[in-house]
Amino acid sequence: MADFDADVIVIGSGAVGSNAAYELAKQGLSVILMEAGPRLPRWKILQNFRASPRKGNHNDPYPNLPYASNSFTDGYLENTGSFDLRPGMLRLLGGTTWHWAAATWRFTPEDMKLNSLYGVGRDWPIGYDELEPFYGLAEVELGVAGSDTQDQSGQGRDLAYPPRSTPYPAPPEADTYYFARLRDRIGAEGYNFVHEPNARPTVTYDGRPACTGNNNCMPVCPIGAMYSGNMTAQKAEDEGVQIITEATAYNLEKGEGGKIVAVHYKTPDAESHRLTAKYFMVAANGFETPKLLMISDVANSSDQVGRNLMDHSGMGLQFLADEALWPGRGPVQQGGIFNWREGEFRREHSAIKHALSNNVPNKMIAERLLAQGIVGTELDEKIRDMSARFVDVSTVFEMLPHPENRLQPHATRKDALGIPTLSINYDIDDYVKAAVPVVKEDYANFVRIMGGEVIEDDTGFQNRDHIMGTVIMGDDPATSVVNGECRTWDHDNLFLATTGVIPASGLINPTLTAVALAIRSAQIIAKEI
C-alpha cells in the first residue's frame, strides 16, 4: 500500500493548476488534479450559448451548480465596500479561461520593482530575469501569438521590450481594419499603439486550429483555437495525472512539523473524502484559494490571507467615429494604447492602459435604439450605420495592495455543501482616482481626433476580472503569504498557484504570469521529491 495517494495534489484545474499538474507529471511525479466543477465538452457549452437569451452574461452558458457556485450565483458574493467587485468566475474543468480575452502580456522589470522605483506599493521578491525563462515555457503551452519587435512598455522605442530569450510561438495576426484606422489617426497625435499578444495562434498549433476570427472568444471559442485550461488538463491526464471532478476542497489538514498531510473534499451529495500527498498546490483562483486557506486555518500567520485584494478596476468610453471602421471582425482585442505604462508619474497616480475592444456591437446598439422607441426601417438603418462606426475603449488602472481591501469566508452564509460563501470589502483608492483626469483628457482627445459622437461616457469604475494580491508574495513572512517560490511561509510543502500571489498589479492581464510562476513552482517541487 502506498504511503500517499499521490506525490502532489493540485487543487483547481484552471489554466494555472492544469499547467502545474502537467509540468509535475512530465517531471515523473504522480499527481492528482482536483476540480470543484464538472467536465463539459465544447459542443455542449456552444449549444448552451446559442440557446441562451442572456448573451451579455458570459457565465450563462456554463454550469451554475449548487455545489460549485460562481461569482454570479445569487448570494454567493456579498460586497460590503463602496465598489461591487464581481469578476467573472467559472468552476468546471479548465476554469475561467473558457471565457477570457486570452491576453497574454508579460510584466516589465519596472512593474516588479514598483516600490523601489516609485515609492508606492510593493516590490516582487524575485526579478524579471528569474521569471523570464518560465514566461517562455508558458507561452509555448498556451500557443501565444505576438510581436517579437515591439516595445510593450508603450514608450515607442525602437526595441523589443520586455527582454525575451525566445520568440513567440506564433506570429501576430494581421491588423484588423478597425485597429489600423484607429492607430493611423489617433497614433498620429502621439499615442503609442501596441499589438496585444494573445493565446489565439495564427497557425495550426498543438492540435488546435488557427484563429478564424469568430469574435465570440467571450463567452466561448466555437472552434477551440483560443487556449483554455481544459486543453492542458487533457494533456496532463494523457501524461498520467488523475483528474477528479466535482470535488470541492474544504479543508487542508495540518500534521507534524507544520506540513500539510491531506486535503478533504466533498462530492455533490455532500459526502466527504480525504486524500494524502507529499506536496500540495492550491490553484483554485484568486478568490477560492484564500477562502480554502482561511476555512482550513493554514498559511495565515501573517494575517495577510484574503487581504491586499486588487482588480484592474477600470473605466469605459463608447463613441461613433466619423467613418465606418467595421469593429467585430477578428479577435475581441488586438491591442491598445500604452503611453501611461512607464514613467515617474507612477509616483503620483496609477499606470493606465486603453484597450480597444473589438466586439460586435449590434446587440447593444439595437437594445439602446429600441429603448428610445426607434423601430422598423429606421431601426435597421441606424443599426447598420452605428455598428460600423462604433468605437469601444476599455481602460484599466494599476491598483495598489491595501490590507483593508479583502475577502473573507462569510460569517453566516453557506453553500449547498455547508461551506461558507464569500464576503468582500473593496474600495478604489486615491492613487487610482488621481489618474481619472488623465483618462478623461485622453477620452476627449480620442473623440476629437476621430470626429466622434459620444454614445456612452461610462466613467464609473468597472470590474476587469483580474484578481490579484489575496495570497500575496513577498520576502518577509510577517507581511506576505508566500515567498518568491510561491511556497507558503508556514508550510514548506504547500505551494499556491494563482494570480492571487501577484504583489504589484501593473496594468496587464495576469494569467500568463501565474502560469509561468506555477511551472516554476512545479519544477522546484520536482527537485525536492
Residues catalogued as catalytic = 466
Question: How far is Cα 396 from Cα 215, in angstroms, rounded to an integer?
Answer: 21
Q: How far is CA 112 from the centre of its chain?
A: 18
* Residues 128, 107 contacting (CB under 8 angstroms): yes
Question: How far is Cα 273 from Cα 121, in angstroms, rounded to an integer?
Answer: 41
Q: Which residue has the cell 488534479?
A: 33
Residue 2, judged by CB atoms within 10 A of its CB (0-12, 13-18, 19+), counts as exposed
Question: How far is Cα 15 from Cα 232, in angstroms, rounded to an integer?
Answer: 7
Annotate 377-409 with DSSP letters as a single string: HHHHHHHHHHHHHEEEEEEEE-----TTSEEEE
**DSSP summary character for residue 434:** T
Question: How far is Cα 190 from Cα 212, in angstroms, rounded to an integer?
Answer: 32
End-to-end CA gap in the chain:
19
Which residues lie closer than 8 Å to 385 by C-beta, 6 or more apart?
A: none
**Could you tell me the maximum CA-CA distance found in the chain, to the nearest angstrom?**
75
* Residue 286, H or E segment: helix 285-296
* Residues 123, 115 contacting (CB under 8 angstroms): yes
* Residue 302, H or E segment: none
Which residues lie closer than 8 Å to 21 by C-beta, 6 or more apart?
A: 8, 10, 13, 31, 33, 233, 236, 241
